[in-house]
Amino acid sequence: MRRKTAGRFRLVLRTSLGFAALGIGSSVAGSAVVALLLFLQGLPADVGDRGWILGLTAGGIVAVSLLVGTFWTAYLQRRTVVWFTIGRPPTEDEAKRALRLPVDMAVVSGTLWLIGALTLGTLAGVLGSAEDSAGMALTIGLGGLTTVGLMYVAAEWVARPVMTMALAVAPPYGRLPVTVLTRLIVVWALASGVPFVGVLLVVTPPEVGRANPTASLITLSVIGLVTGAIGTALLARAVAAPLHRLRVALDQIARGSTDVTVDVDDSSEIGLLQTSVNDLAGGLRERERMRDLFGRHVGTDVARHALEYGASLSGDVREVTALFVDVVDSTALASRTPPRELVAKLNRFFASVVLAVDARGGLVNKFQGDAALCIFGAPTRLSDAPTMALAAARAIRDAVLSDGELDLGIGVACGQVFAGQLGASSRLEYTVIGDAVNEAARLTEHAKGVPGRILASEAAVKSALGGEREFWTAHGELLLRGRPQTTTAWTT
pLDDT in tens, 46-73: 555 666 677 778 778 888 887 888 888 8
Query: Residue range 284-311: average pLDDT?
Result: 65
Residues 234 and 319 placed together within one structural domain of the fold? no
Residues 172 and 321 placed together within one structural domain of the fold? no
CA atoms of 166 and 171, how far apart (whole Å): 8
Q: Which of 254, 289, 322 corresponds to the end of one domain?
A: 254
Query: Residue range 323-327: average pLDDT?
Result: 96
What is residue 450's predicted lDDT score, i.e. its pLDDT?
A: 94
Whether 271 is in a domain gets the answer: no
**Terminal CA-to-CA distance of the chain, rounded, Å?**
63
Highest mean pLDDT among 131-135, 233-237, 451-455: 451-455
What is residue 438's predicted lDDT score, i.e. its pLDDT?
A: 93
pLDDT band at residue 127, thresholds of 50, 70 and 90? Answer: confident
DSSP track, 368-432: ETTEEEEEESSSS--TTHHHHHHHHHHHHHHHHHHHTS--EEEEEEEEEEEEEEEEETTEEEEEE
- Does 52 or 123 have the greater pLDDT score? 123
Identify which of 374, 384, 381 has the alpha carbon closest to the alpha carbon of residue 322: 374
Q: Which of 254, 289, 304 corresponds to the end of one domain?
A: 254
Whether 269 is in a domain gets the answer: no
Percentage of residues of the chain with pLDDT beyond 70: 83
Q: Which of 232, 254, 276 corresponds to the end of one domain?
A: 254
pLDDT tens digits, 145-158: 888 887 888 887 78
Residues 316 and 450 placed together within one structural domain of the fold? yes
Q: What is the mean pLDDT of the chain?
A: 81
CA distances from 182 to 177, 338, 387 (A): 10, 70, 71
Whether 279 is in a domain gets the answer: no
pLDDT beyond 60 at 480: yes
- Does 85 or 90 have the greater pLDDT score? 90
Whether 261 is in a domain gets the answer: no
Q: What's phi and psi for 366, nearest 5 deg?
A: -165, 150
What is residue 48's predicted lDDT score, i.e. its pLDDT?
A: 55
pLDDT tens digits, 175-197: 666 777 777 787 777 777 777 77
pLDDT beyond 80 at 342: yes
Its domain, for residue 430, covers: 312-491
pLDDT tens digits, 238-281: 788 888 888 898 898 888 888 888 888 787 888 888 888 888 88
CA atoms of 133 and 27, how far apart (whole Å): 22
pLDDT beyond 70 at 296: no
Percentage of residues of the chain with pLDDT beyond 90: 24
pLDDT beyond 90 at 84: no
Residues in the chain: 492
Query: Residue range 2-25: average pLDDT?
Result: 67
- The model carries a pTM of 0.58
Whether 259 is in a domain gets the answer: no
Residues 190 and 326 placed together within one structural domain of the fold? no
**Region of poorest pLDDT, from 36-45, 77-86, 213-222, 425-434:** 36-45
pLDDT tens digits, 202-241: 666 555 555 566 777 777 778 778 877 877 887 788 788 8
Whether 377 is in a domain gets the answer: yes
Number of domains comprising the chain: 2
How, if at all, do strands 487-491 and 454-457 pair?
Answer: antiparallel
What is residue 334's predicted lDDT score, i.e. its pLDDT?
A: 85
pLDDT tens digits, 396-405: 999 999 988 8
What is residue 415's predicted lDDT score, i.e. its pLDDT?
A: 95
